[in-house]
């Protein structure tokens, strides 16, 4: 695990968690093919200290996590360009962890229901029907967090002081 070189800009673990709860997408970076790392944008839900993703059962990312379960997930929580200062007031989080494909139906169902609830909170009946329809085709991934870091622009740090 690397230390952040600009430690003043490091966000607390609590702030990182808030970002994980409040955002709706990020980039999952997984083991590459032919030496190219693969970063793929995904929706996610943060629950019980873990991240959950839904996926098709085949494809580039599934092949990658089957080969190597280590992954990272990056969320850009804020990117406010300030042209006159030649910078952006940013906040982001990078989570490092291990991905597991949920093979057990009960685990898979709990994960997809939690994910669907985040994105369609008002459509309980509809989302459960949709899950039923798609269940056999979908695949759920669980990312167990090994560590995470958050960082913000120095201007945002100074604004709070």
Interface pattern 29-48 for ligand FAD (x via CB under 6 A): -----------xxxx-----
Per CB under 6 A, 66 contacts ligand FAD: no
- Among 23, 125, 2, 35, which residue's Cα sits nearest to residue 77? 23
CB of 139 to ligand FAD, least distance (A): 8
Residues 123-142 that bind ligand FAD (CB under 6 A): none
Measured distance CA(151)–CA(132) in Å, rounded: 39
What's the CA angle centered on 82, arms 29 and 18, to 5 degrees? 45
**61 sits near ligand FAD (criterion: CB under 6 A):** yes
Nearest 5°: phi and psi at 62? -65, -45
Binding residues for ligand FAD restricted to 9-28, rule: CB under 6 A: 25
Residue with the closest Cβ to ligand FAD? 59
Q: What is the CA radius of gyration of the chain?
A: 17
- Which residues make up the interface to ligand FAD (CB under 6 A)? 25, 40-43, 53-56, 59-61
């Amino acid at each position: 695990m690397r230390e952040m070189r600009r430690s003043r800009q490091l966000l607390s673990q609590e702030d990182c968690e808030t970002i994980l709860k409040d955002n709706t997408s990020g980039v999952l970076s997984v083991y590459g093919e032919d030496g190219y790392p693969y970063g793929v944008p995904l929706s996610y839900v943060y629950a019980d200290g873990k991240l959950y993703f839904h996926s098709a059962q085949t494809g580039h990312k599934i092949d990658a996590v089957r080969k190597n379960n280590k992954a990272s997930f990056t969320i850009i929580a804020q990117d406010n360009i300030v042209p006159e200062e030649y910078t952006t007031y940013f906040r982001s989080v990078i989570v490092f962890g291990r991905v597991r494909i949920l093979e057990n139906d009960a685990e898979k169902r709990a994960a997809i229901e939690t994910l669907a609830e985040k994105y369609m909170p008002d459509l309980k009946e509809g989302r459960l029907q949709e899950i039923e329809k798609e269940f056999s085709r979908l695949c759920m991934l669980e990312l167990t967090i090994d560590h995470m870091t958050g960082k913000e622009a120095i201007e945002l740090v100074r604004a709070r002081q």
